[in-house]
Amino acid sequence: MKIGELARESGVNPRLLRYYEEQGLLRSERSGGGHRRYPANAVTVVHNIRTLLAAGLPTAVIREVLPCIEGPGPEIHPCVLSYLQEQLGDIDTRISTLQSTRTALASLIEATERTHAVA
């Protein structure tokens, strides 16, 4: 299928499809006229990419995981489970760090407001 067809069927604009291709997430072949031609499963692949992006995975991780996806679910092959668990742990660490940072900033704001409160 051509890029316009894939865009319509997947609901993803052509510019984003080209980006996915640049990132090694989506594959196409070139026709004799230089037009991109995507395989029949491209809509499913794009859906899986979108699902993984929505799960907070960066494209570098998606590139590693995408070959291990089975079906339109997506169902991840167990061989990458530990890798995804590691990614989840990294997200949990970032959330914890952000919560600590937020608490510190809120304390600074509160102290400043108390000090400069107009009575």
Interval 58-87: pLDDT, tens: 999 899 889 888 777 777 888 888 888 998
CB-CB contact of 36 with 30 (8 Å): yes
The pLDDT-based confidence of 118 (bands split at 50, 70, 90) is low
Q: What is the pLDDT of residue 22?
A: 96
| Structural class in CATH, domain 1-76 | mainly alpha
The CA-based angle 82-67-91, given to 5 degrees, is 40
pLDDT at position 75 is: 78
What is the spatial distance between Cα 47 and Cα 119, in angstroms, rounded to a whole number? 58
For the chain, the farthest-separated pair of C-alpha atoms sits apart, in whole angstroms, at: 78
The share of the chain scoring above pLDDT 70, in percent, equals 97
Q: For residue 67, give the nearest of 54, 83, 56, 89 by alpha carbon.
A: 83
Q: What is the pLDDT of residue 95?
A: 96
Is pLDDT above 90 for 29?
Answer: yes
Where are the chain's structural domains? Answer: 1-76, 78-119
| Contact call for residues 45 and 26 (beta carbons, < 8 A) | yes
CA 9, distance to chain mean position in Å, is 19
Q: Do residues 48 and 11 touch, judged by C-beta distance below 8 A?
A: no
